[in-house]
Amino acid sequence: MVLHWLSEACLLAGSFLLLTGALGFLRFPDIYARIHACGVTETLATSLILVALLLKSEAALPQVKLLFILLFLMFSGPTASHALAKAAWQGGVRPRATRDAGERPASPAGR
Amino acid sequence: MDIASYFNYWIVIVLMMLGFYIVIARGNLVKKLIGLNIFQTSVFILYISAGKVSDGAAPILTEGVSVYSNPLPHVLILTAIVVGIATTAVGLALVARIHEAYGTVEESQILEQDNAC
Amino acid sequence: MLSHLPILPVLLPLLGAPICALLRKPVAAWLFACTVALLTFAAAIALLAQTWQQGVLSYALGGWAAPWGIEYRIDLLNGLVLTLVSGMASAVLLGGRASIWRETPEEKRSLFLVAFLLCLAGLQGIAATGDAFNLFVFLEISSLSTYALVATGRDRRALVAAYNYLIMGTIGATFILIGIGFIYMLTGTLNMMDLAQRLPALTESRTAFAGFVFIIVGVCLKLALFPLHLWLPGAYTHASSMVTVFLAATATKVALYVLIRFSFSVFRLEFSTLALPLETVFLTLGIVAVFAGSLVAIYQPDLKRGLAYSSVAQIGYMVIGVGVGTVIGLQAALVHLFNHALMKGALFMALAAVVYRVGDGKFSSLRGIGREMPLTCACMLLGGLSLIGVPGTAGFISKWYLVVAVADREQWVLVALILAGSLLTAVYIWRLVETVYLGVPGPRQVPDSPAGRAEAPPGLLAVSVVLALANVYFGFDTRLPVEAASGAAESLFAAGQP
Amino acid sequence: MELLVDIALLSMLVATAVSLILVRGLVASIMLTSIYGLLSASFFVTMDAVDVAFTEAAVGAGVSPLLLLMTVALVGRVEQQPRKRHIAFPLLLVTVTGVLLIVGTLDMPPFGSADAPALQHVAPRYLQQSGEEIGIPNVVTSVLASYRAYDTLGEVLVIFTAGIAVILVLMLPGRRGSVPDDAGRQRPRNVVVNVVSKILIPFMLLFALYVQFHGEYGPGGGFQAGVIFASGIILYGLLYGLPSVCRVIPPPVVEALAALGVLLYALTGVLALLDGRPFLDYSVLATDPVTAQYLGITAIELGVGVTVASVIITIFYAFAAHLSEAQR
Amino acid sequence: MLTLTVVVILAVMLAGLARAFFARNVYDRVLAANLFGTKTVLLIAAISYLFGSPDFLDIAVVYALINYISVIGVLRVTEMRVIAQQEDKG
């Protein structure tokens, strides 16, 4: 019973975080902020939801698979965000705060 | 007849036609292949929808389940997916070579170059 | 082993291709590919003989009975097509080495042969299978390898031709897939015999109608029937010579086989409400194809391209035979299927020999070549005469049967049109003769031999001569194609009897 | 709930397809294609087609966008504004085809009906008897690898053909199978990505093996395993460059493996021929029919896996070699 | 609650799709596709519990793998292109 409510709570929290992440993803002004919004909330939200599912399951094999997904996402999510930010930087995209002239970069790689 | 039960199919047909349109209306060789991809994937969706049985389970035999979806379309579409990616790969290889030979992948410019000589 | 004969014509090239890929030396790969093709040919002949004696042979792959497993069902028609395809493949491989070696860079040769064997396996698989979906799979094997083969042509336009072929071919294959999906959803089976038993109850079904239309349109794309022929001239013109010989002699023939199989065996056209409109469509498109193809062929500056358009026209004749919708009509279509493979085989083979010496197939480079390569040009001439339908050649036989079939339906206008079409053929063949024999050789660079051009290399020449003589032989001894075709046509119709 | 997910996925599919028509620029199109692949795979999940979803995820969202991207890296990402394209003819063609398709659906059995003809004739045998005849729970694998094993042989041959075709088309002059030299430029290294990927790659390969040998019980099988395995290798190649991955797995070896996979499959079938049974009849492999089926299926699935992995790696090599050539 | 989660995930996927369409540069699109991918993993995992068929989890694993590989792949390839373009310019 406790497990059930715990898992429900995780789901709720995870869903809420997902929504905030999406909001940031849609509304934030430049790519780095958006990566931040997605990357950070996403890792936590994903973990929460997967943990919730983990609590729901009884058999061993699904649990192992969920654990595998969880670990994988915890590794790959931040790495992907990092790689993306770095690639964007190398591609010549600059944060908005440092330049007033919008987010269109001068580099040809911008689009 | 029951319109609602066919609605699913019609959406898929719309998808197919969108893909088909990209294939025949676009002049960029890569985009044509993308359209072909969409077209084929939509055909797969049609097949798979037709194999679905309401309240059926995935066709993996389990104790206590008696209604399964039709496995045969799944088998056929597995093969068709493989055929699709094979075609895409060969098409892309051709596009890469065409770009080397003509310097462009736009149909109209290739035609121009061919007519010029 | 005899009971496994139905699978052998497909299995041999299918096994041969990966083994050939392991052979690195082009010569070894070529010897191996020749062996495989000849064995396949032998198996196909044995199979044809067996079907002749025993009638339909059924072979359950994997040991699973028909509607659950995949079945090979070989009747005379399958046997004829299998023999034709493997025979042409052997001819091309045996005779074409010089040409392949000339037109393909060293490192590509063995892979070229692998792709060739794969194409053979695909075509044989289409011609042998009794399962609608299996047909689609093998269709894709043959198509993919054909795209690669066409792309190996020397000109960069070969790449574009291969790409266009790929797009149109894939649309065609997807249409076939949609059609098979519709009829599967209606009947629950993919086996052709099983479909044939279940479809007559569904003639009123709009789904069956749509399924049939999609299959037919898809096959016609592969067949290059007139408005859907756009890929063919480019692919034939820019592919390397041996690929053109093989494609012209087999690929469209196999597509025609599929058309006949679906229209008569699976859908049993004569019982469905579709029969009438479809006959009209086939007859109209056939006639338009004959005239459009021939007229365009007359004005081509390049012989290879001209012959490619002539193929469009000849496909028109075959489709007319199908559209007549009687046993004799179907027989005429099948006879022409066989004979046309011989004519185009001979013509393109001789042309390949000329291209080997001259460098290209433009009329301007062919002037006066008849004096330098008399034997090759004689072969070309024989092939051309057969294409026109001069008495004493194989082409005459197929035209004769076609005219008889159409006359039998008392469609005299059509008879007149077919004969007029032959006249057009005569025009572009005459242009060939005029250039080759009467033209004055212009100043041109000789690619290889400084002492003027001699005959083609022995392999190419021998195969050209054999194919050209086959055109004459089958013009007199018509038993093989005519009896096989009539047997096949009758069994196609007999199978339709309720 | 099922309906809601259905509708949501379908409408997103339509939205993606429409965006694909509107959007110009190839990278954007590829991203949308990848999303389309993911969506359709999710849709397959809701339609109970687990194996298909598995494959579509690996192919539609993985391999095919990757190949598209590599091509775009070669040919440039600009899609030109058409100068004067006649839209009328394509529209007409599409409309006619669409109408024909809709006519075709009119007499189709309604969506989800359990008494559709397709479920009455051939399929019931698979569902009811494959448990005893083949002895494995995944019916899709049973049909794929035993009842219709010949189709699957054709499928492997298609993949093999694609490999041959791509090498034939993309082969750089005079360089069949040679390992590209190290002269390529030093790529900017990304330490974090490299380290994390290095940790993850072994798990990917392990998971590929799990999928390969678990295909009889759950979703998966040779094809999916091959794709995942190849993806692991491709990831390595992307991170450490073509020369280093070619040192680990030389191109000639991969090409030979592709052929050997096909041969493994076909020769499993030929074994039956030698014993006088029909091609691909597994019953010669063991006295007990169920064991024989199990052996046969394992063998051919292995053949499929080897061929698929090798061909995809080969195709990757071919494209990557062109890319490094183009950058030189 | 699981239902709610599925709805939220679908909504977020929609947002990702919109972003992928309206994005101004490549990286935004990659980000959107990445977001979409991870959400699909979650969706499949959630659906597998909602529909009660744990076999679906295998697919979620594959999605996770493939998603990571595609992001790295896209970035690598765009990087190559960037290098090439910079060289063209000078």
What is the average per-residue pLDDT within D247-254? 90
Amino acid residing at C9: P
A53–E45 C-beta distance less than 8 A: yes
* Model pLDDT, residue D188: 56
DSSP annotation of C72: E
Query: Between chains, do C156 and B76 touch, taking CB under 8 Å as contact?
Result: no
| Global pTM value | 0.93
E4, E57, E79: residue with CB nearest A66: E57
Report the number of distinct structural domains present in chain B. Answer: 1
pLDDT at D184 over 60: no
Interface TM-score (ipTM) > 0.85: yes
d(CA A87, CA D122): 53
- Angle value at C-alpha B17, between B12 and B19, nearest 5 degrees: 95
Cβ–Cβ contact D103 with A under 8 A: no
> Which of D25, D188, D200 is nearest residue A76 as measured by Cβ atoms?
D200
Q: Find chains touching chain E: ≥3 CB pairs under 8 Å.
A: A, B, D
Q: CB E34: neighbour CB atoms within 10 A? A: 28
Quote the CA–CA distance of D315 and D166 in Å, as a whole number. Answer: 6
Residue D21 sits in which domain range? Answer: 1-79
User: In DSSP terms, which residues pair with B68 in a beta bridge?
Assistant: B57
Closest to D25 in 3D by CA, of D66, D60, D59, D75: D75
Give pLDDT tens digits along chain C (498 positions).
578 889 999 999 999 999 999 988 899 999 999 999 999 999 999 999 998 888 888 888 888 887 888 999 898 889 999 999 999 999 999 988 888 898 888 888 989 999 999 999 999 999 999 899 999 999 999 999 999 999 998 888 999 999 999 999 999 999 999 999 998 988 888 998 888 888 878 777 888 888 888 999 999 999 998 888 889 999 999 998 999 999 999 999 999 999 999 888 888 765 565 666 888 888 899 999 999 999 999 888 888 899 999 999 999 999 998 888 788 888 899 999 999 999 999 999 999 988 888 887 888 888 888 888 888 888 989 999 999 888 888 889 989 999 999 988 888 888 899 899 888 999 888 888 888 888 776 655 555 544 456 777 888 889 999 999 999 898 888 888 888 888 888 888 776 543
Nearest to D76 by CA among B31, B12, E64: B31
Q: Are D307 and D160 in contact (CB under 8 A)?
A: yes
Taking phi over 0 as left and psi of -120 to 50 as alpha, with beta for the rest, B103 belongs to left
How many angstroms away from the CA of C250 is the closest CA of chain D?
19
Distance in angstroms (rounded) separating the CA atoms of residues D111 and A98: 56
Backbone angles phi, psi at C456, to 5 degrees: -70, 165
Q: What is the tens place of the pLDDT at every residue in C325-384?
A: 788 888 899 999 999 999 999 999 999 988 888 887 888 888 888 888 888 888 989 999
How far is residue C325's CA from residue C281's CA, in Å, rounded to a whole number?
Answer: 12
Give the closest residue to C144 by CA, choosing from D165, D292, B65, D127.
D165
Number of domains in chain E: 1
Best D92, D101, D102, D122 residue to mutate vs chain C (most C CBs within 10 Å): D122
CB C172 within 8 A of CB C219: yes
pLDDT value at position C484? 85
How many domains does one find in chain D? 2
Q: Is residue D272 part of a domain?
A: yes
The DSSP letter of residue D284 is: G
Q: Any idea what the CATH number is for the domain that residue B88 is in?
A: 1.10.287.3510
- Rounded to 10 degrees, what is the CA torsion of C441, C443, C447, C449? 70
Pair E59, D51: CB distance under 8 Å: no
CA distance C300 to chain B (A): 15
Residues with Cβ within 8 Å of residue D243, at least 6 apart in sequence: D179, D180, D181, D182, D184
Q: D209 and D232 in contact (C-beta within 8 Å)?
A: no
Please state, in angstroms and rounded to a whole number, the distance separating the CA atoms of residues C47 and C44. Answer: 5
Range of the domain at A17: 2-90
> What residues make up the domain containing E79?
2-89
Instruction: Assign C59 to helix, strand or coil.
Output: strand
Q: pLDDT tens across C415-464, in order?
A: 899 899 888 999 888 888 888 888 776 655 555 544 456 777 888 889 99
What domain range includes position B39? 3-116
- Look up residue D23 and give its two tokens: 């959007």
Rounded to whole angstroms, how far apart are CA atoms D212 and D232?
A: 14
Residues 6+ apart with CB under 8 A from A50: A66, A69, A70, A73, E42, E45
User: D1: domain CATH number?
Assistant: 1.20.120.1200
| D199 Cβ under 8 Å from any chain A Cβ | yes
Is residue A51 situated within a structural domain?
yes
Print the domain residue range for C415: 2-496
How do residues A62-109 score in pLDDT, each as one tens digit?
888 888 888 888 888 888 888 888 888 877 777 766 544 444 444 444
Is residue D105 assigned to a domain?
A: no
Q: Give the CA count within 13 Å in the CB-facing half-sphere of E69.
A: 32
- In whole angstroms, what is the distance from residue C74 CA to residue C90 CA? 21
d(CA B105, CA C252): 29
Chain B contact set for C185 (CB, 8 A): 50
**Chain C positions in Cβ-Cβ contact with residue B102 (cut-off 8 Å):** 156, 160
Report the distance separating Cα C298 and Cα C306, nearest Å: 7
